[in-house]
Each structure stands twice: as structure tokens, then as C-alpha cells.
Amino acid sequence: MALMTAQEYIDSLRKLNTRVYMFGEKIDNWVDHPMIRPSINCVAMTYALAQDPQYADLMTVKSSLTGHTINRFTHLHQSTEDLMNKVKMQRLLGQKTASCFQRCVGMDAFNAVFSTTYEIDEKYGTHYHENFKKFLTFVQDNDLTVDGAMTDPKGDRSKAPSQQADPDMYVHVVERREDGIVVCGAKCHQTGSINSHWHIFMPTISMGEADKDWAVSFACPTDAEGMYMIYGRQSCDTRKMEEDASIDVGNAKFGGQEALVVLDHVFIPNEYIFLNGEYEFAGMIVERFAGYHRQSYGGCKVGVGDTLIGAAALAAEYNGVEKASAVKDKLIEMTHLNETLFCCGIACSAQGFKTKAGNYQIDLLLANVCKQNVTRFPYEIVRLAEDIAGGLVVTMPSQTDFNSDTVVGRNGETIGEICNKFFAAREGVSTENRQRIMRFIENLCLGAAAVGYRTESMHGAGSPQAQRIMIARQGNIQGKKQLAKDIAGIKD
């Protein structure tokens, strides 16, 4: 099958029997729901750009499995150049959507599971690697979007999966049959879950022998029997359901998506199982997936940061302060922070290496440094953007007020005329354009897009402490101590 177009992707979602719930009710036509559709548009952009010849080198690549041209989001990285092109592609999509385009988790899961299954088979003589290669070939041939699902609810985080009062706090096997397994549990905060054709489920922590039933990885279709999603709320999300609110939304076309994914006795055939009880490899999948996904943030968050920097510069221009030295300095600092994140994403890619399975893995230390910076720098970029834009970002009347013909003034002025008069921008800039840029900044800093930019920068791909643990492991402090001893002439 050829690469799907954006419209073909959207049409393909209508063919699924995905079960979606929101505000306590089942949503039958979720594809066209005003709160969900912007996130679908974001994923559609990954298909649209793959059709554009000017982006062909970034968006498409030759499959290592079939030799066919595929979307890079379904690719197994074959070189450090592939790893760097991944980051560049993610920056491009962040620039085009100013939001989360949701396919990164699947791509990162592909590469982590591919290399890990090879090593499981090497030790145990299992067939997980062949299972995965067949599945990924199917995904590539059909240009599918696959969600990578890792984050379990966890319950009491001081206890292992097998020690939980409720075993469903981690996805686990409840029945092993000759033809497959039956699983129960849930995954939280799942980016792009509803918009995906398939899911790959992975463990979320390292496990011991008592946790064998929780050491499981598999693929299943999004509309599998017993699987359903509960849509996650976002700040200002119901603005998308209001009439005459396209400006108030801030980014009316694009948006992110998170959901709680529930598995209620879902059957998984043998051919879609990639880990089933080999508990000592759970940590390997987690570490590799986390590394790839922390690399991703050096691309996607940078692209979104580009749009926020541009919006802040426009706000300064509309306010008539773009020549002020303090404003210029703030924009320089925002750019410096943003490009530093990009440097980290490129660096961990350039230092990548070939795994036993043949695909390329990033430098884990630098990937964790990349994500540690992402937990900080976007917050400062947001602060500076809000500083430049001013308080109107959070105090502006609604679009309905700006359009209102209700008379309130002594001389017959309407609410709309009053709003347009007192919130006018500099000469030559319409009040509406000032409205639009303020709402766009609000959306990125505080609204729905903040889920995919500010807050996700903190918790996506693991919380800050998770990266610090990996930095401690990978930092080679003993080796650095020896360097100092050698130069200082210290002999033990």
C-alpha cells in the first residue's frame, strides 16, 4: 500500500469500532467531536507532510524490512543520520502544529521493542523478534499510526506490581492459553491513544521474579474487544464546543490528546506477544523506550517553542514595544534556551550506536540530559512569553463580547465597539489580530496546548527524577574520579 494521505488517515479512523467515553458518556462520532478533532488534525499533518516533496527526506525513508518507502514514524533507525533526521522531523511538525502530533510514542516503542525482543530470543530461544518484525511490516505496509503505551496507574508506588492490593494497577496476564494470553489493567496519560489504529503495550518499571505476570508486552488493535478509552480533560477544552469561539480557543485547528486506556480481559493472540514473563527484560524495554522518547523532546518541544517565540515577538510588535532592549533580550534568551534543547536532541543522536538487532540507539546519558533540560527550559520560555505579552493573555473579554451588538454606551456604543476600542493595538494592527496572538499565547502557556508543551515537558517520558536516576547510572563518576587521580598523581 502507498503512503496514506491526511484524508485517507481520517477516513480510516471512521472504520474502527473504538470505544471512547467523555464526560461520563459514550462518544459515537468521536472523529468529528470538536474537542477531539484538533488532535486528529495533528496526526493528519504527519501524513500530509509525507506527501509533500519538499519534506520527503525528513518525512519518508526506505524500510529496512521491505525496502519500500515508508513514513519515518514507522521506521527502525539505521544510522546516526536517521536518529538526527527524526529530531529534525519532530521540530518541523512542532512548527507546523504548535501542538503534540502524537506519533512519537509509537515510533519510539518500535525501536525499543525491536532491539529488546532480539536479545530475549537470543537468551531464551523465543519467537518474539519474528513476531515483532511481522507486526511492524504490517504497520509499515499499511502506514498505520500505533500508540506506544507504557505508563501504568501504579497504585501504591512504594510497592511492586505483585504487591499491589489491586493487581490491575499494572497491566498483567490473567490467563495463559495455547493460542495466546488474556490481559487486564490500564495505561494512563496515553498520548494519541484514540487516534491510533493499534497499540503496543510495554512494562513501565523493572521487575522481579514475583512480577512475572506483569512482565508483558504485546500489540493489539485500538478497537479490540474489552478495550476502551476515557478521554482526558485539558485546560480550556470546552471552549472548542462553544459557538463563535474560534479566536478564544487560541489554536482552533490543532491540539493534543491524552486518555486512560482500559483493558478488561482482552485476548492477545500469540503472534502479537513480544514479552511474556521474561521479567529481567522489562527494565531493558523501559530504559530503551525512555531513552528514545527523551531524545524526542529535543525535537517536538523545540518546534512548539519556535511558534511561542514567534508569538511573543508578534505580541511585542502589536504592543509597540518590539524595539525595547529588554524585550529583545528576552527573545534572545528564549531562543538560546530553545536551541540548547535542540542541541541536546542532535547530540544524543549523533552519539548513537548500533544495537545487536541492527537498529540504532541514542546515547542514553545525553538523551536523559536532553529531557532533564526540557523539564526546565520550556517553563522559562513560557514565563518570558507571558512577560512580553502582558496581562491581557489572562484577562481579555471573550470573542462573543468583541462581536456583541448589545448597546451599553451613553452614545449608543455596543459592547463589541467598546472592546474593540479599548483593546486596540498599535496603529496598522487590527484589534482582532491582537486578540488572536494573545489567545494563541494563552493556549500554549496555560490552555489545552500547555498539556503538550509546558506540563508535558515536566512529566512526559518520565518525571525529572527518572532522568536524574539515569544520569547517575550513566555518568561514570568512578571514571571521572580516576581521571582526577591520574592528573593529580594519586595512587591508591
Q: List the catalytic residues.
A: 100, 104, 191, 258, 293, 297, 300, 456
Quickly count: other Cβ atoms within 10 Å of residue 89's Cβ.
28
What are the distances in angstroms from CA 40 to CA 31, 32, 324, 349, 406? Answer: 7, 9, 40, 29, 37
What are the distances in angstroms from CA 118 to CA 159, 270, 283, 285? Answer: 30, 17, 15, 11
φ and ψ at residue 129, rounded to 5 degrees = -65, -45
What are the distances in angstroms from CA 342 to CA 78, 92, 189? Answer: 21, 12, 25
Q: Give CA–CA dist 211/362, Å, rounded.
A: 29
Please choose, from the candidates 174, 161, 266, the residue with its C-alpha nearest in 3D space to the C-alpha of residue 203. Answer: 161
Q: Give CA–CA dist 91/88, Å, rounded.
A: 5
Query: What is the residue type of 431?
Result: T
φ and ψ at residue 241, rounded to 5 degrees = -100, -5
Please choose, from the candidates 74, 400, 49, 105, the residue with its C-alpha nearest in 3D space to the C-alpha of residue 256. Answer: 105
What are the distances in angstroms from CA 1 to CA 5, 53, 392? Answer: 12, 19, 50
Q: Are 214 and 184 in contact (CB under 8 A)?
A: no
Q: Give CA–CA dist 357/119, Å, rounded.
A: 8
Quickly count: other Cβ atoms within 10 Å of residue 176's Cβ.
11
Q: Give CA–CA dist 219/217, Å, rounded.
A: 7
Residue 26's DSSP bridge partners are 21
Q: Give CA–CA dist 232/258, Å, rounded.
A: 5
**Is residue 257 classed exposed, middle or buried when 0-12, 13-18 and 19+ CB atoms within 10 A define those classes?**
buried
Q: Are 170 and 152 in contact (CB under 8 A)?
A: yes
Q: Give CA–CA dist 55/96, Å, rounded.
A: 12
Q: Are 117 and 275 in contact (CB under 8 A)?
A: yes
Counted residue by residue, the chain has a size of 492
Q: Give CA–CA dist 289/150, Å, rounded.
A: 9
Helix count (H) and strand count (E) of the chain? 19, 14
